[in-house]
Amino acid sequence: MSLADATTDKMSRRKEISLREVISRDFRVVFERDPAARSVLAVLLTYPGFHAVLLYRVAHFLYVRRLTMTARLLSLFARFLTGVEIHPAATIGAGFFIDHGMGVVIGETTVVGEEVTLYQGVSLGGTGKEKGQKRHPTLGSHVLVGAGAKILGNVTIGEGVRVGSNAVVLRSIPPHSTVVGIPGRVVRTKESGYPEWTLNHQDMPDPTQERIEQLERTVARLSDEISRLRKSAPGDNSPE
């Protein structure tokens, strides 16, 4: 069974969880993952990320009951109010947190596991090339997606994956990996030592810079080797 199927089956088995319980979990994670959240009233009144998730939950509730037009209108209102666009048909698990929120887009056939965190400017979209029912990403549980990152197409992001800011992910990613760059490349696997909802950007590797530094070291080594061979060659007085 693929991760996409496993994630969908897991969420289907938890349908007995009431809408109220899911929203309660979404509310609690704000305090767990945002150190700036200090009071219930502040979150209820001033957190557009939570407002977007709350309105999505209601819109999704209506959508699965075939009140599609009402759900789409509520989704449009949520976009106007928060700057976050979540298609009401998307399937999103409990404990979903959008930090700052503005510019987040989540497509129709997206499937998101539990305890997932998105930062501002994230897109879970399609590539415009796929045909068929599933056109958008599937994210496992405990995934974190950094600001401005794009995950496009019918790809599967494994459990515990961290996607660096501004990365563009076009391929499936194995669980417990860290992905950076354009296109996204896996630079770490099976990390531990900090929670899934943190992303230590100051420690993120730069694969392009690492390649350049490796090339510089190789060129310097080859230059030293050529100099040594010239010095050891008999009768070679050519300038170095």
Dist CA 215 CA 192 (whole Å):
30
Higher-confidence residue of 174 and 18: namely 174
Higher-confidence residue of 164 and 5: namely 164
Predicted confidence at residue 7, as pLDDT, reads 57
Residues 84 and 10 in one domain: yes
Predicted TM-score (pTM) of this structure: 0.74
Domains of the chain: total? 2
- Beta-strand relationship, 156-157 and 162-163: unpaired
Could you give the percent of the chain with pLDDT greater than 90? 41
Radius of gyration of the chain (CA): 23
pLDDT above 90 (res 100): no
Could you give the percent of the chain with pLDDT greater than 70? 79
Closest CA to 61 of 36, 82, 32, 90: 90
Residues 80 and 192 in one domain: yes
DSSP 8-state assignment for residue 175: S
pLDDT band at 10 (very low <50, low <70, confident <90, very high): low
In sequence order, what E strands does the chain have? 85-86, 91-92, 97-98, 105-106, 111-112, 117-118, 123-125, 138-139, 144-145, 150-152, 156-157, 162-163, 168-169, 177-180, 185-189
pLDDT band at 64 (very low <50, low <70, confident <90, very high): very high
The domain in which residue 214 lies consists of: 206-240
CB neighbour list of residue 80: distance below 8 Å, 6 or more residues apart: none
Predicted confidence at residue 202, as pLDDT, reads 54
Residues 113 and 218 in one domain: no
Q: How far is CA 171 from the centre of its chain?
A: 13
Higher-confidence residue of 220 and 154: namely 154
pLDDT above 70 (res 98): yes
C-alpha distance from residue 195 to each of 87, 116, 139, 160 (Å)? 28, 12, 17, 9
pLDDT digits (tens, 9 = 90+) for 65-94: 999 999 999 999 999 999 999 999 999 999
Tokens of 148: 């401005």
Residues 101 and 185 in one domain: yes
Residues 43 and 158 in one domain: yes
Pair 167, 146: CB distance under 8 Å: yes
C-alpha distance from residue 1 to each of 4, 6, 39 (Å)? 8, 6, 43
Higher-confidence residue of 9 and 37: namely 37
Residues 120 and 18 in one domain: yes
Lowest-pLDDT range of 55-69, 164-178, 216-230: 216-230
Last residue of a domain, one of 167, 182, 199: 199
